[in-house]
Structure 1
């Protein structure tokens, strides 16, 4: 008998279901569709809108950060949006690469410089003195970023009393955070230390970790430019994970909001799933959709930019 070589990839089924209530016809943008990336292969994907809406003038486009955006004009009433996908990702956890150096600013690629500046939720200029006091003495790029993650993991309490629209400095001062806040605060400290850092949203399945029985949501982490590449850091969990599916990157959550509506809307229901699977194709849409507790009755103005957060 011939033994097959061990696989270097696993499959993850991920997706969401969103129900909106709209008082008037409303233009909407969705940043929800992962693309092919190194270490991330999309095997199958589908979306469904009820009522059946064409994309506005057949428009999907790439924004300034390379994220794929859907553009629709939703009629008044109820809008249901479902996206379901099957992705292939690496079996290896996030790389840990101590010793990666910190580049001088004058050596950085021009396209990374915007990720040194403050942004809407990343008030790195207001946290600069604290960043240099805590981490300025640490040599090495990787070591400095890891020290930031260790500090946030020890300092911020997950979940309790956190809010969904705070800046990095506000979250840090409160002592409470969801993973959106962990990501913003990590980005803020890194930018204050002259390390280009960007916010990331996506899916994170519970693979090789104890199951989390809370309702799943989109996840947020961050990336730092070290040794010529964007490197993954996750201050919320602060240990290497398997099964990330990256949806979008940007300066902060305002650039990666899963939905932006140009009008008053109500998010009546939300389900998110991400699970390892042996499936090789997606099952019929009417069957097999994961059923999870729902997030009811939140106004989109409260959720814009929210990628909350396990």
Structure 2
């Protein structure tokens, strides 16, 4: 199957403002891109690319004063199969973890492992370690939080989401990955495209956040917000939490004038 992804984002800046954007398909999926991945701005500005500390493809530029529109499109090949549960996958004891997994055990800006550690062990410490325990965490978060765009808050942390019992996909992800880290399970935050292929139409379309968890046979996607196998998940960026992977990081004030995202199946 082929999936067409794209976005059109319009910002308004009072003065020329430096931007760093994480909007490109992650290097892990580069081999699946069909045709050119396009990126343009209006008005046109000079852009340059680099790989950030977490291995994501970033673009930097300076937005002029006034309205500034960023547009991108890409077509990605996908198996078209729903995600499969690896229920035999086991947790790895900390002494046996690969060194590059250790950083995904620590607390971070939005994920207060110190404040949620006892809660995590009280809720999930009695469960057998492995895939099913991670799924139990996602089941709990899915039921505990009420999804509400109107109550989105950029500063809400995992602990606050747990207390307030409301949030958007980033809050679901933050709470689930914090519980995982409290239980010594490496977990990382993911931004990406996730359309409504195989499920009822999602409106309006948006970028999505989910988590990846390290078990004995590698990294696996879990999605506490949707909490069901999905088709066509396409990673853009990974980090410790949302602070590491803003879609647009503005080094100065701006107003968001327009935001449009699309992800849909197209003919081969």
Q: Give the TM-score normalised by the residue count of structure 1.
A: 0.83
> For the Cα contact (< 8 Å) 1:116–1:196, is it kept in 2?
yes
Aligned-residue CA RMSD in angstroms? 1.4
Find the aligned partners of 2:76 and 2:204 in 1 and give their Cα distance: 21
* Aligned residue among 186, 199, 205 for 2:195: 205
Find the aligned partners of 1:240 and 1:216 in 2 and give their Cα distance: 18
Are 2:183 and 1:193 equivalent residues in the alignment?
A: yes
Q: Secondary structure at the match of 1:241?
A: coil
Distance 1:135 1:223, change over 3 A: same
| Post-superposition CA distance 1:3-25 (Å, at most 9, x none) | xxxxxxx1111110011111111
* Aligned residue among 26, 30, 39 for 1:47: 39
Residue 92 of structure 1, CA deviation: 1.6
> For the Cα contact (< 8 Å) 2:111–2:241, is it kept in 1?
yes
| Post-superposition CA distance 1:56-101 (Å, at most 9, x none) | xxx3111111000101012212111100111111212122011211
Are 2:18 and 1:35 equivalent residues in the alignment?
A: no
Find the aligned partners of 2:150 and 2:74 in 1 and give their Cα distance: 33
Runs of 5+ unmatched residues, structure 2: none
Structure number with higher helix proportion: 2
Find the aligned partners of 2:19 and 2:232 in 1 and give their Cα distance: 29
Are 2:256 and 1:267 equivalent residues in the alignment?
A: yes
How many pairs are equivalent?
A: 266
Q: Residue 102 of structure 1 corresponds to which residue in structure 2?
A: 91
Distance 1:39 1:210, change over 3 A: farther
Aligned counterparts, 1:1-310, within 5 A = 10-37=1-28, 41-44=32-35, 45-55=37-47, 59-159=48-148, 162-165=151-154, 166-212=156-202, 214-278=203-267, 280=268
Find the aligned partners of 2:196 and 2:104 in 1 and give their Cα distance: 30
Runs of 5+ unmatched residues, structure 1: 1-9, 281-310
> For the Cα contact (< 8 Å) 2:27–2:57, is it kept in 1?
no
Structure 1 runs (4+) greater than 6 angstroms displaced: none
| Post-superposition CA distance 1:132-168 (Å, at most 9, x none) | 0010011122111011011111211111663222001
